[in-house]
Amino acid sequence: MPVRARLRQITASLAVLLCAALTCPVQALPDPDRAFRDFVRDTWSLAEGLPQRSVTAIAQGPDNYLWVGTQHALARFDGVQFETYTTRNQPALPGNEISTLFRCSSGMLWIGSNRGLTSYDGDAFQRVHIGENEGSDELAVLALAEDGFGRVHVGSSDGLFIVDNGRLVRSALKVRERIGALHSTPEGLWAGGIGRYWRLDEGVADSEQSLPEDFGNALVTAFVQDGDALWVGTSAGLVGTDELAGVATREPVNAMLRDSVGSVWVAADQSLLRIRDGYPPERIDNDHPAAHPQARSLYEDHEQNLWIGSSIDGLARYWSGWADRYSTEQGLTTPLVWSVAVAGDGGIWTGTNDGLAHLHDGQFDRVLRGSELPHPHAYTLLEDDDGLWIGTRSGLTVLNPDSGEQWRPEALAPLDAVQINGIVPAGHHGRYFLATLEGLYLWDGEERLEQVEGAGNGSIRQVHRLNESDILVVTDNGVLRGAPPELEPFESGPELLRSGNFVAAHILDGDRLALSTLERGMVYGHDDRLVQLTMEQGLPSDSSYFLTHDDQDYLWVSSYEGLFRVPLAQLDELAAGERTRVDAEMLLSESGRHAGSQQGYCCNGAGHAKGLIRPDGLWLPSRDGVVRVRPDRIRRNPVPPVVRIERLQAGGEWHSLDDDQANLLRPGQRDLSLAFTALSFRDPGSVRFRFRLVGYDTQWQNPGRDVPRMASYTNLPPGHYRFEVLAANNVGRWSQQPATADIHIPAHFHETAWFWLLLVASTLLLLLAGYRWRKHQWVRQQSLLREEVQSRTAELHQANRRLVEVNRKLKDLSTIDTLTGLRNRRHLYERMREEPRQLATLRQQDPEADLVLGFALIDVDHFKRVNDEHGHHAGDRALEQVGDRLQTFVRKGDQVVRWGGEEFLVVFRALPRAEAPAMLDRLSRMLGERPYQLGAERALAVTCSIGFAELPPRDRDPARGSQWQASVDLADQALYQVKKTGRNGWAILRYDAETDPGSIRHSERNAVEAAIAQGRMQLISNRSAAGE
């Protein structure tokens, strides 16, 4: 690696470590009294990219990556993905079975394998060979350590070696046996062999210690210095130079570690031991729910995370978190908890899905089975002078905590089938307010139980006393307040207060009020200024169950998503209109998707007793026992990530980056991608990035958390660029300086300034020559163009005339029936846009004439028989002649239309209504008086039936254009009357003078028949005229 780049990398790593040392401690493993079960655990194995399940060694390298040794390969881990190194892709590795990893004070990573030693300086691997005459180069390396003089010692299968000028030479300890452990202390370097161990001073053994007699054949595998005591792990168990106080184990010890808070960890085959001053040893067996079984290696990184490598199950990371969980392991009979309340003895009453339990000193005692309660679910709790009140989903009961006896007040029997959400002392109003699913009740403590009418009959979630007279009532349909029974909704504030599905309320000092809903966020503020907050204002969730605040001025909110807190100062500023968002922190998350949160079950239930806060922490019911969060022990990760730009892709190939000079791409390479990462191991999935390509991007790009750690650019112009990337850890602490990579994209010749100068000069010369030639051609072209324009203009006029004629013919063809030559329906629809308006004008000019539009619908009688007996050709001839006769009959301006099949429609314009019968009589005789010629000297007598209707239907009605189709329908009904009475005739249907035409559905035959029978319509026909 170039010197400048090497210095830059070391400086960045030291800066991160210095930051971790000087800022507030991370406290991944802070609390000696914290049980191992409450540590936060994440694991990685084959499915996540680990090359092999058996993790034999762990160390953090000079580049701050986590290096993981397995029995099959070496892996580099950035918290998200593994990059694997084997003898196949890294020849400097002598073997794939990694036995030990060690980072010395200079930052060099030393890698011991079953076939030798390799060093890594952050840029390149280097094989460390054995010196001349020192033995075989394939040396099984078992242990590594650095003495006080900066020399690296190597324990191997063939004794102890020292790295001297890049080669392995034997140390002054001239033993040719397995050295399984090395450990550096201020007193010297400890080396462990078989049945004995030595302390070396300046490389010379100044003392030798033997293991106890029953450990005589055991190999020393690990050392830990704990104060004045030296712990020695062996293949036969754990021993020490001082009294072990009963913590010795006879299991083979694989690794030992003293962490930054003084705890000693011992990884044995069947268990993990944790030894702390002042506390009994904690043994975590392989079947422990939180165990990483068969621990093989231990390591603490710079963020104080504890890493454990397993022989069978990959890699695990532990940190202490801030939540303690008390569940079935601590004696709870069922994990589902509904309520918690303070017990008189300092414990926690716990209402579960199957009765009542008491939590004290970290253990549960079962108090009542679910079968001993009115309902198994102890949904709400309250302890006072009367005893412990237990509200269930079917009424409530009272427990005497001392005697264990229960009693149920007879006055509360009406509530035996009702879910109790809360039991609240009522002050001078009575004994208790009872919040239920069916309203709010007040009990005087004796015989009187009454429903508070002002609260309604819906679900009452909580009740709070505001002062001696007023109460606050939280319901599923808004919030009420006032002196019972006079309860009123809030007159001001968000509309949500008067209609929202509210769940909880919390009253703070200074008249501040917090209210939470099931799905629409929160309401916060003073009585005169209440504002609504949702996820748009920074809340992690719009739902919540429980509200409280601590002495650090945070509002705590439990929700569907988990548990979060919000600074009260920010809420006050938002309520005052001084800010638009709050910085809420999700601390406990069921999904684990919230940045900086600890994953775990939380929280449960709506009503009273859904949480409590006291000096020892915040206690909450959950679906997995009771959760305690200690606000005063929350320490956010202060270590910003170390950001690395790993490689660059151009031309479809990945390349390493040159940190000392601009990375030069080949000509034509304009698309590039840059892979980057951030080394933060507390919650790597929550790491956020922002990047930019200086010289191209105008602002920082902010990719999401779940996108690949890569930036891609396409079709970049030539030039010099600098890629910069920043990262933030799981709590939003950003790296101070970006990681950078300089990139140079060379230009093609046609993209250079010389090319453009040459192009401009050539262009000017061509323009000059072109101008002279163009000027010579100009006059001649003008003359030719004028002649061409005149010719084209004449052709265009002629083409336009032909187009107009063709369009006219096409329009005529589209409105003419091809058989009869008559107009068709389409033509009639177009005409009827104007006919009613023209008729209205004529009726205004001569109102006494009662002019109408007459619609005569004509049907050829027995036309099917003509087709069947004489053929379709004969039928066509008959239809043509009917059309011809109609054309000769009508007046100028009347319309003859082939309506369809054997039907024709004649529209008579401006026809006096009184003349219609006579006209129809003439038309009927004309159509049937002469035979129709069918060809080949054949003739056939044909008659027609005619139905007639008028527009407007009555003389006093206006002629509306929209009614003409209704008139055709009415003519069709009249035609039906003719056919029904024998055909060969005509009929007119008219409305009675008192009948509204709109009251009869004239398109329905039954309706028309009924109207005729009732006299609401008049049927006039040739037959009725003949009868008269």
In the chain, the percentage of residues whose pLDDT exceeds 90 is 54
Torsions phi, psi of 464, nearest 5?
A: -135, 135
648 and 627 in a common domain: no
990 and 970 in a common domain: yes
pTM over 0.75: no
Span 62-84, average pLDDT? 94
CA distances, 667 to each of 745, 750, 868, 988 (Å): 7, 12, 87, 93
Of the ranges 102-116, 278-292, 946-960, the best mean pLDDT one? 102-116
Q: How far apart are CA 348 and CA 865, in angstroms?
A: 101
> 642: closest CA among 146, 52, 101, 107?
107
661 and 545 in a common domain: no
Least confident of 24-28, 190-194, 878-882, 924-928: 24-28
Q: How far apart are CA 275 and CA 256, in angstroms?
A: 11
CA distances, 245 to each of 240, 248, 281, 497, 560 (Å): 10, 8, 9, 63, 47
C-beta neighbour count of 830 within 10 angstroms: 12
Least confident of 576-580, 591-595, 655-659: 655-659
Specify the DSSP element, H or E, that contains 215: none
704 half-sphere exposure, CB direction, 13 A CA radius: 4
654 and 617 in a common domain: no
Which tens digit of pLDDT belongs to each residue from 810-854? 766 677 888 888 888 888 888 888 888 888 888 888 888 889 999
Task: Name the region of 482 (left: φ>0; alpha: ψ -120 to 50; beta: rest).
Answer: left
Asked whether 17 and 626 are in contact (CB, 8 A), the reply is no
DSSP 578: S
Strand locations in 688-738, DSSP E? 688-694, 710-713, 719-728
Domain count, the chain: 4
Asked whether 430 and 445 are in contact (CB, 8 A), the reply is yes
Residue 685 has pLDDT above 50, yes or no: yes
State residue 15's pLDDT score.
45
Asked whether 222 and 215 are in contact (CB, 8 A), the reply is no
Q: Give the residue numbers spanning the domain of 139.
A: 27-322
845 and 712 in a common domain: no
Which tens digit of pLDDT belongs to each residue from 410-467? 999 999 999 999 999 999 999 999 999 999 999 999 999 999 988 988 999 999 999 9
Which tens digit of pLDDT belongs to each residue from 537-592? 999 999 988 999 999 999 999 988 899 999 999 999 999 999 999 999 998 888 87
Which of the two residues, 802 and 503, has the higher pLDDT score? 503
Judge whether 625 lies within some domain.
Answer: yes
Judge whether 278 lies within some domain.
Answer: yes
| Confidence band of 959 (pLDDT split at 50, 70, 90) | low
Judge whether 433 lies within some domain.
Answer: no
Which of the two residues, 226 and 962, has the higher pLDDT score? 226
In the chain, the percentage of residues whose pLDDT exceeds 70 is 93
Structural domain ending residue among the three candidates 691, 719, 751: 751
945 and 992 in a common domain: yes
Q: Which residue has the tokens 């004796």?
A: 446
State residue 956's pLDDT score.
67
State residue 32's pLDDT score.
63
591 half-sphere exposure, CB direction, 13 A CA radius: 11
Residue 21 has pLDDT above 50, yes or no: no
State residue 182's pLDDT score.
95
Q: How far apart are CA 688 and CA 257, in angstroms?
A: 32
The average confidence (pLDDT) of the chain is 88
Q: How far apart are CA 493 and CA 515, in angstroms?
A: 12
Q: How far apart are CA 755 and CA 1023, in angstroms?
A: 103
State residue 83's pLDDT score.
94
Residue 71 has pLDDT above 80, yes or no: yes
Span 278-307, average pLDDT? 90
| Confidence band of 5 (pLDDT split at 50, 70, 90) | very low
Specify the DSSP element, H or E, that contains 190: strand 188-192
675 and 611 in a common domain: no
Which tens digit of pLDDT belongs to each residue from 87-96? 999 999 999 9
Asked whether 190 and 223 are in contact (CB, 8 A), the reply is yes
650 and 596 in a common domain: no
Structural domain ending residue among the three candidates 263, 298, 322: 322
- Secondary structure class of 846 (helix, strand, coil): coil
State residue 19's pLDDT score.
43
Residue 12 has pLDDT above 50, yes or no: no
Judge whether 141 lies within some domain.
Answer: yes
Judge whether 381 lies within some domain.
Answer: no
Residue 17 has pLDDT above 70, yes or no: no
- Secondary structure class of 132 (helix, strand, coil): coil
Which of the two residues, 12 and 353, has the higher pLDDT score? 353
Judge whether 11 lies within some domain.
Answer: no
State residue 840's pLDDT score.
86
Residue 954 has pLDDT above 50, yes or no: yes
Residue 18 has pLDDT above 50, yes or no: no
State residue 23's pLDDT score.
39
Span 136-159, average pLDDT? 92
Torsions phi, psi of 347, nearest 5?
A: -85, -165
Q: Which residue has the tokens 């002495």?
A: 551
Span 874-880, average pLDDT? 89
Cβ-based neighbours of 273, under 8 Å, separated by 6 or more: 238, 247, 249, 264, 265, 266, 281, 282, 283, 284
CA distances, 265 to each of 61, 93, 511, 695, 818 (Å): 22, 30, 51, 52, 103
State residue 749's pLDDT score.
82
Q: How far apart are CA 896 and CA 802, in angstroms?
A: 30
Which tens digit of pLDDT belongs to each residue from 368-394? 999 999 999 999 999 999 999 999 999
| Confidence band of 660 (pLDDT split at 50, 70, 90) | low
Helices within 815-951 (DSSP H only):
825-831, 835-845, 863-870, 872-889, 916-928
Long-range contacts of 579-587 (CB under 8 A, 24+ apart): 580/537, 581/537, 581/538, 582/533, 582/537, 582/538, 582/539, 583/538, 584/538, 584/539, 584/540, 585/731, 586/540, 586/561, 586/562, 587/322, 587/323, 587/562, 587/563, 587/629, 587/634
Q: How far apart are CA 22 and CA 16, in angstroms?
A: 10
> 989: closest CA among 924, 894, 916?
916
| Chain centroid offset of residue 775 CA | 70
Amino acid (one-letter) located at 918: A
Structural domain ending residue among the three candidates 322, 351, 378: 322
Judge whether 345 lies within some domain.
Answer: no
State residue 151's pLDDT score.
93
646 and 539 in a common domain: no
Span 738-767, average pLDDT? 88
Of the ranges 96-100, 500-504, 726-730, the best mean pLDDT one? 96-100
Whether cis (ω within 30° of 0) applies to the bond prior to 485 is yes
Q: Which residue has the tokens 């009693």?
A: 407
State residue 11's pLDDT score.
45
State residue 13's pLDDT score.
46
For position 1014, which CATH number holds? 3.30.70.270
Q: How far apart are CA 621 and CA 528, in angstroms?
A: 34
C-beta neighbour count of 447 within 10 angstroms: 9
For position 255, which CATH number holds? 2.130.10.10
Judge whether 71 lies within some domain.
Answer: yes
Span 31-38, average pLDDT? 75
145 and 78 in a common domain: yes
621 half-sphere exposure, CB direction, 13 A CA radius: 32
Cβ-based neighbours of 720, under 8 Å, separated by 6 or more: 662, 695, 742, 743, 744
Residue 525 has pLDDT above 90, yes or no: yes
627 and 658 in a common domain: no
C-beta neighbour count of 439 within 10 angstroms: 18
148 and 75 in a common domain: yes
State residue 353's pLDDT score.
95
